[in-house]
């Protein structure tokens, strides 16, 4: 199989299940970190032409915050946790143990980015832990990288990463929602397997 559009419903179900277990684990980890209830949506796994990836997630110029980690040993992929920037700041503030509103903007940004990087790391690490339990693979993560940018620009990179393999992107879209807050905080997990990695995963799961 050298092209992602060859995937069948059977493969999609398997990937969706990975997304399901991964997100469940991520929700539990975030809930433990925040001491709050975290809900998740049923994950959606779909094949989208890479040319439509950006539009798939929302308005291209919406400011978002994205945390990226990679795992590169037995299975190589990139994982992104993406959340609207405004919500990202509220999420970060939940684990910042002091009032930072009096500080200058640059310091606030740094503290929030560091909190988000930790939250993203916990969410994506938990996602990978679930994958590790299913497959038996050891999946260490890299240090997380944080970007604040337009949604379109983040998805532009995501589309290019998929574009190396073919013309479709396998998007596993799952959302986490933090409850008991005035405004609901939701973010999305996106898994981007490196070339060949999705086949390795499907084969490991016994569906290829």
Partner 1 sequence: MAQPIHVGMADLVVSKHPATLITLGLGSCIGLVIYDQMSKTTGMVHIMLPDSREVKNIPKPGKFADTAVPLLLEELARLGANRSQLRAKMAGGAQMFSMPGKDSAIFAVGTRNVEATTKMLAAEGIRIVASDVGGSKGRSVEFSTETMKFIVKTLGSGTKEL
Please report how close the Cβ of residue 20 comes to partner 1 at its closest, in angstroms.
Answer: 26
Q: Return residues touching partner 1 (CB under 8 A).
A: 3, 50-55, 60-61, 63, 66, 68, 70, 78, 142-143, 145-157, 159-161, 163-164, 167, 194
How far does the chain reach from its first CA to its final CA, in angstroms?
9
Nearer Cβ to partner 1, position 37 or 160?
160
Centre a 10 Å sphere on the Cβ of residue 13 and count the other Cβ atoms it contains. 12
d(CA 70, CA 58) in angstroms, rounded, equals 24
Please report how close the Cβ of residue 156 comes to partner 1 at its closest, in angstroms.
Answer: 3
Tell me the CA distances in angstroms from 23 to 4, 60, 102, 166, one per residue in order. 23, 25, 35, 26
Centre a 10 Å sphere on the Cβ of residue 11 and count the other Cβ atoms it contains. 22
In this structure, what are the phi and psi dihedrals at residue 53, rounded to the nearest 5 degrees?
Answer: -60, -45
Nearer Cβ to partner 1, position 21 or 145?
145
Please report how close the Cβ of residue 205 comes to partner 1 at its closest, in angstroms.
Answer: 24
Nearer Cβ to partner 1, position 86 or 149?
149
Nearer Cβ to partner 1, position 26 or 155?
155
């Amino acid at each position: 199989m050298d092209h992602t559009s060859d995937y069948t419903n059977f493969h999609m179900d398997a990937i969706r299940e990975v997304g399901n277990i991964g997100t469940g684990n991520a929700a539990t980890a975030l809930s433990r970190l925040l001491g709050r209830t975290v809900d998740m949506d049923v994950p959606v796994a779909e094949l989208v032409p890479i040319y439509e990836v950006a539009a798939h997630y929302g308005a291209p110029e919406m400011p978002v915050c994205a945390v990226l980690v990679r795992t590169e040993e037995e299975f190589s992929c990139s994982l992104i946790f993406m959340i609207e920037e405004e919500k990202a700041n509220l999420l970060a503030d939940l684990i910042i143990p002091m009032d930072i509103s009096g500080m200058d903007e640059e310091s606030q940004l740094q503290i929030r980015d560091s909190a988000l990087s930790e939250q993203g790391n916990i969410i994506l690490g938990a996602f990978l832990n679930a994958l590790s339990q299913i497959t038996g693979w050891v999946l260490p993560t890299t240090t997380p990288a944080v970007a604040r940018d337009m949604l379109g620009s983040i998805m532009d990179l995501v589309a290019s990463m998929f574009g190396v393999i073919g013309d479709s992107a396998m998007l596993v879209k799952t959302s986490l929602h933090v409850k008991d807050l005035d405004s609901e905080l939701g973010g999305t997990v996106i898994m981007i397997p490196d070339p060949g990695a999705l086949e390795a995963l499907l084969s490991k799961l016994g569906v290829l």
